[in-house]
Structure 1
C-alpha cells in the first residue's frame, strides 16, 4: 500500500470516528425532550433516533457538497499527502472539541466544530479558505437558525395554548405525548439529513485530495452507507450528559412544549438543507427552540444561567476547534514527514 492510499484510508477512518462521536454527541438533539417528558423510554427513543438518522442520510447530498467546498486544497500530483494531512488535522480538531464539550455536558455544534477544524488546519497550512462560502452557508445560518428557532417555537407554543385553552389539560398533554413520537422521529430524520452528509463531504474531500475521485463526481454509495452507519451507531450509544442538559437543566418541559420545540427544529433542518444547502447546527436549533417553547411559561422559567454557558460553548466552538486543528496540523506534518 503506497503512502497516499494509506493516508486516504486513515482519513476515512478518522472521518467515520468523527461521525460516530457526532452521533453520540448529538443523540440528545432528537430525543432529550421526548425522554424528559416520558413520551418515550430512553432505549426506544435511541433506537428510533438511530434508525431515522440512518434513513435521513440518504435524503440528499446538498450539505455534503457545501462542506467539501469550504476550503480549496491542492490535490495535484506530489501534493496529495499534504492535502490529506490538512483534512485529517481538521477532523482531529473537531473530534477533540466534541469530546471536551460532551464531557462537560454542553450541547455545542459538531457541525461548526468540523468546519472550524477544516478552516483552522487550512489556515495553518496556508491553504485557501473560501470565506464567501463560510459567511453565506455557515456564519449567517449559524446566527439566523437559533433566533428563528426560539421565536418560532415561542409562537407555535402560544398558538397551542390558545387552541387548547378550553380543553382538559390532562387529555391535551397525553395527546401531545403521543404526538412527540412523530416530532422526535422528524427531528432525528433531519439530524441524519444534516449531520451524516457533513461527514460524507469530508470523506469525498479526502478522495479528491488523494486522487481517487474527481471534484465533479457524485458521492459513491459506500461513502453514504458508511457515514449513515457510523452516525446511527453513535446515536445508539447515546449522549446522556447532553440529554440531561437539554431535557432538564434548561427547563422542565411538558409534552406540548416538547412537541412544539421538536416540530419547529425539524422544520428548520429540512428548510436549510433543501432550500439553502446550509450545514446548520442541529444542536443550536433544538436548544433555542426548547428555550423558546419554555419561555411561554414565563421567561424566568428558563434557566438562563445554563443557557448562558451553552451560548458560550457555541461562540467558542468554531475558533477552539480551529485552534486545535491548527496545532494538530503541525503535529501531523512532523509525523508524516512532509516537506
Structure 2
C-alpha cells in the first residue's frame, strides 16, 4: 500500500476532528474513583520459568469493578534495590502470553510489568484475564461492546485497568515508583496514551503506532479492522452515528494527549492502514508536554518501526529515567 493519508508536512500540524466532551475530566475522575473504591489487592507470586538472568512474578490485581487482572513482573535476577519500571500494554487481541516473551526491558536493567488485557488474549498471544461484564449486541471484537454509552463501553474498563496496572507495579518493593514509564504498540499505544493522560507523575510515555485516536477520521478513512468494526455496527444500526461518536470521544487518545505531563516518544508509519498516520499525528501534535518526538517510518504499514523502534526506545528511556534520579 502506498502513502494514502495526508502529506507529511500537513501531518506535522494536523490535530484531529474529535470534539472533546465538556465533562471529559469529570467522567474519568468518577471512573477512577469508582475503580479505587476496590482494594488494589496486588499479589506477586514467584514463577519458575527456567530463566536464569531474570526473576518473574505472576501478578494479580483488582482492576475496574474490582475484577481480577493478570500480569507479569520481570526483574533482573541480581536485583535487590528498587529499579526504574516500564509498564507495558498489549496490542489488539493479544494477552500477556508466557514470561519468556517479555525479556527486553529486564535485560536492559529495568523492572518490567506487562498487563494482561481483559477479555482478549485469544488471537495472536494467549491471555488469562476474563471480562465479566456483559454487552448489548455488538460486532465481534471489542470496538462496539457497550458503545451506546460511555459508562458501558469496553475501553472504560480497559483504561481503568491500565491506571491500576501502574499502581500495582509501583506496589512491589523492587520497583521505583518515582521512575515509572508506560509503553505499548497499537491498542497498547492507545492504552498508553490514556494512562499518560490520567496518571500525572510518570517520567516517560512511549506509544508506538497508537490505536484509538481521532475516531471521526479513523472510522471514515480506513476500512481495515479493528476500526471497521465501528463502521459495520453503524451500517447495521442506522442513525446511531452521532451517539456512537459521542461515546468514542470519551476514549479518544487525542484528548488524553492534551493532558500528557511526561516526555513522550511516538512512532508513526506512513503506509499504516490500521492506524492511519493522521490519527497518530493528531495525538502527537496534541501532546501537552513540550519534550516530545515522533519517529516516522516512510514505507511501513502497521508493523511500524518494529525492532528498530525498540532500539530507539532503548536509547531514549534510560535518559528519561536518569533525568528523574
Q: Shorter-chain-normalised TM-score: which range? A: 0.3 to 0.5
Which gives a bigger RCO, structure 1 or 2 (Cα 8 Å, sep 6+)? 1
The alignment's TM-score, normalised by the length of structure 2, stands at 0.36
More helix by share: 1
More strand by share: 2
